[in-house]
Amino acid sequence: MAAPHYALASGTARVTGSRLITLLTDFGLDDPYVGVLKAVLLRDCPTGRIVDLSHAVAPYDRLSAAFWIDRACAWFPAGTVHVVVVDPGVGSARRAVAIAAHDQVFIGPDNGVLTGIFTRDARAEARQIIPSALGLPLPSRTFHGRDVFAPVAARLAEGSLAFEEVGDLVASLCEAVLPAVVEHADTWTGQVVTVDRFGNALTNLPQPQTTAAFEVRVVGRKLSVVGTYAERAVGEIFAVFGSFGTLELAMREGHAASALGVVQGTPVVLCPTA
Amino acid sequence: MAAPHYALASGTARVTGSRLITLLTDFGLDDPYVGVLKAVLLRDCPTGRIVDLSHAVAPYDRLSAAFWIDRACAWFPAGTVHVVVVDPGVGSARRAVAIAAHDQVFIGPDNGVLTGIFTRDARAEARQIIPSALGLPLPSRTFHGRDVFAPVAARLAEGSLAFEEVGDLVASLCEAVLPAVVEHADTWTGQVVTVDRFGNALTNLPQPQTTAAFEVRVVGRKLSVVGTYAERAVGEIFAVFGSFGTLELAMREGHAASALGVVQGTPVVLCPTA
Amino acid sequence: MAAPHYALASGTARVTGSRLITLLTDFGLDDPYVGVLKAVLLRDCPTGRIVDLSHAVAPYDRLSAAFWIDRACAWFPAGTVHVVVVDPGVGSARRAVAIAAHDQVFIGPDNGVLTGIFTRDARAEARQIIPSALGLPLPSRTFHGRDVFAPVAARLAEGSLAFEEVGDLVASLCEAVLPAVVEHADTWTGQVVTVDRFGNALTNLPQPQTTAAFEVRVVGRKLSVVGTYAERAVGEIFAVFGSFGTLELAMREGHAASALGVVQGTPVVLCPTA
């Protein structure tokens, strides 16, 4: 049986300036932090187009950020520059990096969020960002999104900075925060990685490349895997391979995570139907 | 006495490519669903301009969505393409439709949200969207916003798809979810259709075309109709014809809906002052 | 010892059309109010670029709005047009104004939110907006953001209206809502002006221009002033001069405001280390 795999395209590490910039942060939208980050992006890349992936990552929740950048980037064109800032270590010695992978660029702290993106593309390159080496003003010690990541992203999107000029190559990154799926005897064990607005509990379990039938074991319960929400009655709980390619625990017009009592990190097992 | 009416312009069902695209969904902004939808829009319409109407419609709340698209579209220029996705039936047999009405285009599931838009313009046309007939990849079964509605919206905004090419004409749509106002003996009975951030309870009762004086009856109380919030003292509850043309129950610097105990569906009666 | 000061550049009161427009409101993102405001902006300035500073100012919280526009505008290029609408007095006799200051334009009600912006630039000019004098339709009495402030902002950004044409000069504005810092015997007394998403309590106390060491007194506690969050252990409470130049009370990976029990208005004292 083929091992499950993610569907991200792997391509050349060279990118072109698409001027499309995405943002994925835990800044929230309550305060003007995102707006000021955009001020810097548009100052340095006046024709850039900015897409908010999310600013509602729970504060310091690196796992959800790692999952979502991994899943969402596949929908963006080559050359897109992604800025990912969930950074409890801002101001510490953690490195700032830019990664060319999957024909796109990913910028953020080297804290495990972007490691999966890097390791999954054999031709990926990571480079360390040293603000002073790029002629950037001395950054504040608390807002590197604005002072480091945004200026570099804007220059790459604008084309005024080539990826090779970002800084020295980095051979390896921090350990990935997105856990690997464990395979054992036709059974895959993953976990809940994030819960979405609708209460769907999204897991890191990709769809097996097989026609065999599967079921799901979670918190002592057995759930069947269905094709779509509409196949089930309102209030029923089930599993479904969601629109981003991984298994989700869902409840028709209800909040599956609350109903099941699962949270980020809850183990989820995908196994052949008994 | 003239019947109350909505102020939407009715025009030709033909539209031109304004490249302005609006989004009204229940996706929330916590997860990257909206960002990925925008990735598809900008991939297929690179010069498109996207305006978020709201992504905070309560999950599956078709009535609020129907009210707001009805009220908000009047402020957008001819040719605007509106994508409205509040879709508890995603993956079921419900149709996907594009509607040309009021010189604009409205795209979403045929589940009653867009029916009022369609029926109020005598020259409106609705066409069924069949993804495969348009050469779109097989959509996921859970995210038609990304896989069906966004590609069609982008092609229409870009001008690479003419409205006549979307699909076959549809003669009628599902029953409207936005209830009609009932007139009886100079008295109009409507209901609360949504509650806004400030606690204003917005109703479907439009302003009568008359100079007669009115008052409002709701949950056993009588409220007077004033011209603006500032006419009343802080904490006072009253009714006002709001900035979108329908009656609102409001409280000066307070939360009227909570104070009155009204929710979506609560009957509201507008009658001549006794 | 030099008095503390804000770092905003002061420049000519004349502005040029950058077509960059920012929005800072208490409208929230739940309802389509912001989307409709953008419809008007793009109708009247089709090539305008809009940046949301925040729409999550607490309803009627003029102090937070005054603080944030004061702090955020420094990051935007000359010619940016800022629309600031926190307006409990909409529909009353309060004036609508446009202010040219710091090489930018600020538009909103004259209710104290923009007064600090105005008074801190000796060359600033304020002009009263009379909608009818500008040929604008009679505004609604409840949504001046859409009907008054957005059309004027769009025309200024588009360049179809010169700042001198906005209306008559206004000599003085309402009293500022952002309180001044009080200096007494090398000690500065300010207050918490807003609490951000991370629980940081932001104050109006700017960084003293001195190399002396300081400490902070708040709610009977003494806090040390550190350089960055990462210097402290998780759960520790401290003070830091934040990325917008004023003192913040912070807790490493925790909610400082809740832990300390401080709210908007709580006095905060900055004094030399004993």
Q: What is the pLDDT of residue C107?
A: 98
* Residue whose entry in the numeric block shows the structure tokens 């990976």: C253
Q: Are B80 and B103 in contact (CB under 8 A)?
A: no
Q: Are B151 and B158 in contact (CB under 8 A)?
A: no
Three-state secondary structure call for residue B131: helix
Q: What type of residue is A76?
A: F
**pLDDT one-digit tens code per residue, C224-265:** 998 766 678 888 999 999 999 999 999 988 999 999 999 999
For the record, the structure tokens of B252 come out as: 């000066």
For the record, the structure tokens of C118 come out as: 């105005």
Instruction: Report helix angle A33-44 to C62-72, nearest 10.
Output: 20
Q: Looking at chain A, how many residues does it have? A: 274
Helix residue ranges per DSSP H, A125-174: 144, 150-158
Task: Give the percent of chain C with pLDDT over 90.
Answer: 77
Q: Residue C82 forms beta bridges with which residues? A: C22, C106
Nearest to C229 among A28, A33, A91 (CB): A91
Residues 6+ apart with CB under 8 A from C111: C62, C86, C87, C88, C89, C94, C174, C177
Contact check, Cβ <8 Å, B230/C30: no
Q: Which residues of B13-47 are buried (b: 16+ CB within 10 A; e: fewer)?
A: bebebbbbbbbbbbbbbbbbbbbbbbbbbbbbbee
Give B-chain residues touching A197 at CB under 8 angstroms: 27-28, 30-31, 59
Which of the two residues, C3 and C177, has the higher pLDDT score? C177
**Angle, CA of A47, B48 and A15, to the nearest 5°:** 50
DSSP category for residue A198: T
**Angle, CA of B187, B188 and B193, to the nearest 5°:** 155
Torsion angle, CA of B84/B85/B86/B90, rounded to 10 degrees?
150
Residue A91 contacts C where some CB pair is shorter than 8 Å:
yes
Q: Which pLDDT band holds residue C18 (cuts at 50, 70, 90)? A: low
How much of chain A is helix, strand and coil, in % rounded to 5?
20, 30, 45
Torsion angle, CA of B19/B23/B28/B33, rounded to 10 degrees?
-50
Residue A243 contacts B where some CB pair is shorter than 8 Å:
yes
CA distance A100 to A124: 6
Give C-chain residues touching B194 at CB under 8 angstroms: 31
Q: Are C26 and C35 in contact (CB under 8 A)?
A: no
Complete DSSP assignment for C144-197: HIIIIIHHHHHHHHHTSS-GGGS--EES--SPPSSPPPEEETTEEEEEEEEE-T
Question: Where does residue B17 fall: left (phi above 0), alpha (psi -120 to 50 degrees), or beta otherwise?
Answer: beta
Nearest to A43 among C24, C55, C77 (CB): C77
Give A-chain residues touching C227 at CB under 8 angstroms: 91, 141
To the nearest whole angstrom, how far is the Cα of B139 from the nearest Cα of chain A?
9
CA distance A131 to A33: 20
Q: What is the pLDDT of residue C231?
A: 74
* Dihedral pair phi/psi, residue A25, rounded to 5°: -140, 175
- Between A and C, how many CB-CB pairs are < 8 A? 82
- The CA-atom distances, in angstroms, between B218 and each of B229, B257, B260, C102 are 19, 11, 9, 50
Burial class (CB in 10 A: 0-12, 13-18, 19+), A145: buried
Q: Pairing state of beta strands B182-184 and B169-170?
A: unpaired
Q: Are B15 and B104 in contact (CB under 8 A)?
A: yes
Contact check, Cβ <8 Å, C51/A28: no
Nearest to B31 among A20, A196, A240 (CB): A196
Three-state secondary structure call for residue B21: strand
Q: What is the pLDDT of residue A208?
A: 86
Give A-chain residues touching C20 at CB under 8 angstroms: 42
- The CA-atom distances, in angstroms, between C240 and each of C3, C7, C229, C243, C273 are 19, 17, 8, 9, 15
CA distance C182 to C188: 6
Task: Give the percent of chain A with pLDDT over 70.
Answer: 92
Contact check, Cβ <8 Å, B147/A243: yes
Is the model's pTM score more than 0.80? yes
Q: Which pLDDT band holds residue C140 (cuts at 50, 70, 90)? A: confident
Give B-chain residues touching C92 at CB under 8 angstroms: 228, 230
Give B-chain residues touching C51 at CB under 8 angstroms: none
Q: What is the pLDDT of residue C272?
A: 92
Mutate one of C26, C53, C84, C231 to test the A interface: name it (highest A CB count within 10 A).
Answer: C53
For the record, the structure tokens of B207 come out as: 């302003």
Residue B196 contacts C where some CB pair is shorter than 8 Å:
yes
Q: Are A193 and A252 in contact (CB under 8 A)?
A: no
* Residue whose entry in the numeric block shows the structure tokens 């106002």: B181
- Print the SS3 string covering C82-116: EEEECCCCCCCCCCEEEEEECCEEEEEECCCCCHH
Residue B60 contacts A where some CB pair is shorter than 8 Å:
yes
To the nearest whole angstrom, how far is the Cα of C145 from the nearest Cα of chain B?
11
Q: Are B207 and B4 in contact (CB under 8 A)?
A: yes
Ranking A230-234, B216-220, C156-160 by mean pLDDT, the lowest is: A230-234
Contact check, Cβ <8 Å, B54/C40: no
To the nearest whole angstrom, how far is the Cα of A142 from the nearest Cα of chain B?
23
- The CA-atom distances, in angstroms, between B267 and each of B62, B182, B193, B219, B220 are 18, 11, 10, 8, 10
Q: Are B31 and A248 in contact (CB under 8 A)?
A: no
Three-state secondary structure call for residue C44: helix
Ranking A99-108, B227-236, C89-98 by mean pLDDT, the lowest is: B227-236
Burial class (CB in 10 A: 0-12, 13-18, 19+), C180: exposed
pLDDT reading at A27 higher than 60? yes
Which of the two residues, B70 and C60, has the higher pLDDT score? B70
Q: What is the pLDDT of residue A18?
A: 61
CA distance B138 to B112: 25
How much of chain B is helix, strand and coil, in % rounded to 5?
20, 30, 45
- The CA-atom distances, in angstroms, between A105 and each of A69, A97, A112, B64, B202 are 11, 10, 16, 39, 45
Residues 6+ apart with CB under 8 A from C179: C190, C191, C193, C204
- Print the SS3 string covering B27-62: CCCCCCHHHHHHHHHHHHCCCCEEEEEECCCCCCCH
To the nearest whole angstrom, how far is the Cα of C269 from the nearest Cα of chain A?
22
Helix residue ranges per DSSP H, B74-172: 115-119, 144, 150-158
Give B-chain residues touching A24 at CB under 8 angstroms: 32
The residue ranges of chain B whose pLDDT is under 70 are 1-18, 228-230
Contact check, Cβ <8 Å, B31/A229: no
Which of the two residues, C8 and B1, has the higher pLDDT score? C8
pLDDT reading at C12 higher than 80? no
Q: What's the mean pLDDT when you consider all of chain C?
A: 90
Nearest to A30 among C20, C54, C253 (CB): C54
**pLDDT one-digit tens code per residue, A218-228:** 999 999 998 76
Mutate one of C22, C50, C51 to test the A interface: name it (highest A CB count within 10 A).
Answer: C51
For the record, the structure tokens of A55 come out as: 């600013």
Q: If you average pLDDT over residues C192-220, what whole number do you get?
A: 93
Contact check, Cβ <8 Å, C51/A39: yes
Residues 6+ apart with CB under 8 A from C271: C186, C187, C188, C214, C215, C216, C217
CA distance B82 to B114: 10
- Print the SS3 string covering A104-137: EEEEEECCCCCHHHHHCCCCCEEEEECHHHHCCC
**pLDDT one-digit tens code per residue, A164-215:** 999 999 999 999 999 999 999 889 999 999 999 989 999 999 988 887 889 9
Q: Are B112 and B63 in contact (CB under 8 A)?
A: no
Contact check, Cβ <8 Å, C75/A30: no
Q: What is the pLDDT of residue C9?
A: 39
Residue B51 contacts A where some CB pair is shorter than 8 Å:
no
